[in-house]
């Protein structure tokens, strides 16, 4: 910020007065020199690499042999990408997974935060706080492997249906036993293709079923388990910063505890909610490790994600132009979320 106003001043001077000799304070030179190495590193390893990735996505490089010539027409690989049924499914999965995961994680995290906030003085609260936060410290790979077993149709929670007699009960009623396939279930529920057909003719003939893939639900649950503790910590931090006087004032005005949260605390936590949602969004868009260790691509790509698509095309299919095109789309998806957020954050400063 300071630099921008400094620049504006010089521009103003340049217009109104005769140009002054630029004076560099020793501290400015010093700080510039200190910043230079990391700036160079970021320019090369972030922006130049993004540019190279983008260039490859426009090129003819689609085998193990490097080919840096540009494709005709220029964006043909992006056309291939969006015509690829698997990538279409991946986009559906990203949207469905993101909605499920963010909804569950934010609600659960907020609920845990309120519970802990309500009982701040109670004995053993730090223990619970740490227990809820602990999954966040684990690697997604660990979470994925653990939940893979939990949702395994043969060894996981389906055994509880046996142990607690649910299946015996169903059998006595002449019904089939309850044995969900969880992450191996290929069905897609709440399909909207036919409804969409009214607006977009031909939608009911699309190969991609627009709906909620059942197999994604266990993955969203595992991701929620991992990150709801983080959401809780964020909210708890926000709640601590709200002074007791505000709560007292609301209570004196006759608000119930629920109303205090509903009308005072949660609205005051809006900035926290925005931060939380942005962080979860970009985690969700880029998710790879949890899904690959828990479910892989899934039956009929029910749990496939753009990041897995990129990996398969780049390293298994050795099709760099298609893989990089998909990663550029992922970058754009994240950028659409992150850039407005960063802008609003810096403006507040």
Partner 1 sequence: MKTKILLLLIVLLAALAVGAVNAQDDGMVPVDESVTGDLEVFSWWTSGGEAAALQALFDSYAASFPNANIVNATVAGGGGSAARPVLQTRLAGGDPPDTWQVHPGWELLGQYVDPEYVVPINDLYEEMGWNDVVPEQLRDMMTRDGNIYLVLAGVHRGNGFWYNKPILDELGVTIGETLSVDEFIAIADQIVAEMPDVAPLCVGDSGIWATAQLFENTLLGVLGPEGYRGLWDGSVSFDSDEVKQAMTVYGQMLDYQNSDHAALSWDQAVDALMEGRCVFNSMGDWAYGEFVAAGMEDNVDFGWVSHPGTAGSFMVVADGFVMANGAPNEAANAGWLSVIGSRPAQEAFNPLKGSICARTDCDRELFGPYHNWSMDSFSADELVASVVHGTAAPADFQQAMNDAVTLFVVDRDVDAFAAALVDAVAASGFTEAGM
Q: Which two tokens stand for residue 178?
A: 């309850």
Binding status of residue 162 toward partner 1 by CB under 8 A: no
37-45, 122-130, 146-154, 274-282 -> range binding partner 1 (CB under 8 A): 146-154
Q: How far is the CB of 142 from partner 1 (least distance, A)?
A: 18
Q: How far is the CB of 41 from partner 1 (least distance, A)?
A: 20
CA distance 318 to 312: 8
Q: How many CB atoms lie within 10 A of CB 113?
A: 25
Q: How far is the CB of 299 from partner 1 (least distance, A)?
A: 4
Size of the site for partner 1 (CB under 8 A): 30
Q: Which of 125, 181, 255, 341 binds partner 1 (CB under 8 A)?
A: 181
135-143, 225-233, 266-274, 291-299 -> range binding partner 1 (CB under 8 A): 291-299
23-31, 40-48, 147-155, 260-268 -> range binding partner 1 (CB under 8 A): 147-155
80-88, 113-121, 219-227, 253-261 -> range binding partner 1 (CB under 8 A): 80-88
Residues in the chain: 349
The dihedrals phi and psi of 14, each to the nearest 5 degrees, come to -60, -35
Q: Report whether 101 contacts 223 (CB < 8 A).
A: yes
Binding status of residue 72 toward partner 1 by CB under 8 A: no
Strands 188-189 and 212-213: antiparallel
Q: How many CB atoms lie within 10 A of CB 168?
A: 11
Residue number, 53 or 84, with CB nearest to partner 1: 84
Q: Report whether 109 contacts 237 (CB < 8 A).
A: no
Across-strand partners of 213?
A: 188
CA distance 150 to 139: 17
Across-strand partners of 189?
A: 212
Q: Which of 224, 283, 313, 327 binds partner 1 (CB under 8 A)?
A: 313
The dihedrals phi and psi of 60, each to the nearest 5 degrees, come to -90, 10
Binding status of residue 184 toward partner 1 by CB under 8 A: yes
Which residues contact partner 1 by CB under 8 A?
Answer: 62-66, 80, 84-86, 152-154, 181, 184, 186, 207, 296-302, 312-313, 315-319
């Amino acid at each position: 910020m300071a630099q921008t106003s400094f620049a504006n001043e010089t521009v103003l001077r340049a217009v109104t007065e005769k140009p002054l000799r630029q004076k560099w304070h020793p501290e400015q030179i010093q700080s510039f020199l200190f910043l230079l190495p990391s700036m160079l590193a970021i320019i090369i390893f972030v922006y130049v690499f993004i540019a190279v990735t983008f260039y490859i996505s426009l090129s003819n490089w689609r085998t193990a042999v490097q080919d840096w010539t540009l494709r005709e027409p220029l964006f043909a690989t992006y056309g291939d990408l969006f015509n690829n049924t698997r990538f279409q499914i991946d986009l559906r999965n990203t949207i469905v997974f993101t909605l499920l995961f963010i909804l569950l994680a934010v609600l659960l995290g907020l609920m845990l935060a309120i519970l802990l906030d309500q009982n701040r003085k109670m004995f053993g609260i730090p223990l619970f706080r740490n227990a809820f936060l602990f999954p966040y410290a684990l690697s997604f790979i660990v979470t994925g492997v653990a939940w893979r077993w939990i949702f395994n149709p043969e060894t996981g929670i389906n055994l509880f249906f046996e142990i607690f007699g649910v299946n015996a009960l169903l059998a006595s009623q002449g019904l089939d036993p309850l044995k969900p396939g969880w992450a191996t279930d290929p069905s897609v529920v709440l399909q909207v293709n036919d409804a969409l057909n009214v607006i977009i003719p031909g939608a009911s003939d699309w190969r991609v079923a627009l709906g909620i893939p059942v197999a994604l639900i266990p993955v969203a649950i595992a991701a929620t388990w991992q990150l709801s503790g983080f959401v809780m910590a964020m909210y708890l931090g926000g709640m601590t910063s709200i002074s007791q006087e505000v709560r007292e004032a609301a209570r004196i005005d006759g608000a119930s505890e629920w109303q205090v949260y509903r009308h005072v605390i949660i609205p005051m936590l809006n900035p926290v909610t925005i931060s939380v949602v942005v962080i979860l969004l970009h985690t969700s868009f880029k998710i790879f490790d949890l899904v690959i260790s828990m479910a892989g691509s899934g039956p009929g790509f029910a749990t496939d994600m753009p990041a897995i698509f990129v990996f398969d095309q780049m390293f298994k299919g050795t099709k760099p132009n298609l893989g990089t095109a998909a990663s550029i789309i992922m970058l754009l998806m994240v950028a659409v979320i992150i850039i407005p957020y960063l802008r609003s954050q810096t403006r507040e400063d």
